[in-house]
Amino acid sequence: MFITFEEFVRRAGAIRARMDVACALAGRDPLGVELLAVTKTHPPAAAEYAARLGLRAVGENRVQEGVEKRALTTAAIAWELIGHLQSNKARLAAQHFDRVQSVDSAKLVQQLDRAAAELGKTLPILLQVNAGNDPAKYGADPAEAGRLLEQALAGKNLRVDGLMTIAPLSPDPSVARRTFANLRDLRDRLAADFGVPLRELSMGMSGDLAEAIAEGSTLVRIGTALYGARE
Ligand SMILES: *Cc1c(COP(=O)(O)O)cnc(C)c1O
């Protein structure tokens, strides 16, 4: 049984409270951190709940699942791809998602740019960086991020909003915190080098949103704490 809307509202309130505490500790304005609802594995109602609450967007980590779910709802909400994207699905992703956060290779940049051109749209993207140097995670090597950004900025049909990362799984919160600090430092350096704002720092999930906000996250991606455990 999927959770009720009332339960969803209660959970969202609890997450907002955690976000507010983290913002207060960091001396940040809570309006500067967006809550992205991660609806993967959950029914279309998950996106409808998020829309009713007034959230801007939901996140899905698989192209096919996101496309199918989106077709089953009229929820007025944006859909963002946050999971690994294979280049043979680039066109489908460009067509059905409002932003792709998981762009981590030159090949993907090229294919998304071409697909967006054919679709006559500008596709907003984030570059996913493996800022925790975790062998288990996707994302560009931080040392390659400059080159990848250069290629993405050259894509006439792409708009680069910022960077995204996933922290390594660790019982030690300082591991996530260091990963997020790395991403922010990298962003600051790239923004200065290329003269672009790269405003968005998509970092933080249910277990590490406080560390992410402390290090400058502008968007936390929350699944479990909003909708419960995935099967
Ligand atoms: C599943 C997922 C999340 C949400 O994780 P929770 O721990 O359930 O909050 C965030 N980001 C990405 C990339 C994910 O795949």
Q: Residues 28-62: pLDDT tens digits?
A: 999 999 999 999 999 999 999 999 999 999 999 99
Helix (H) or strand (E) segment spanning residue 185: helix 173-194
Paired tokens of 130 = 């493996």
As a dihedral over the C-alpha atoms of residue 229, residue 66, residue 164, residue 114, rounded to 10 degrees, the angle is: 170
Q: Is pLDDT above 80 for 231?
A: no
User: Does residue 115 contact residue 81 with C-beta atoms inside 8 Å?
Assistant: no
Q: Between these two residues, 137 and 146, which has the higher pLDDT value? A: 146
Of 53, 121, 112, the C-alpha closest to 86 is 112
Domain that holds residue 35: 5-227
Of 207, 226, 191, 167, the C-alpha closest to 36 is 226
Q: What's the CATH number where 111 sits?
A: 3.20.20.10
**How many Å lie between the centroid of ligand 1 and the Cα of residue 149?**
24
- Ligand 1 atom index nearest CA of 225: 9
Number of domains in the chain: 1
Best of 34, 60, 205 for a ligand 1 pocket test (most atoms within 8 Å of beta carbon) = 205
Q: What is the pTM of this model?
A: 0.98
- Ligand 1 atom index nearest CA of 205: 9
Residue carrying the six token digits 């749209």: 121
Q: What span, in angstroms and rounded, lies between the C-alpha atoms of 182 and 131? A: 6
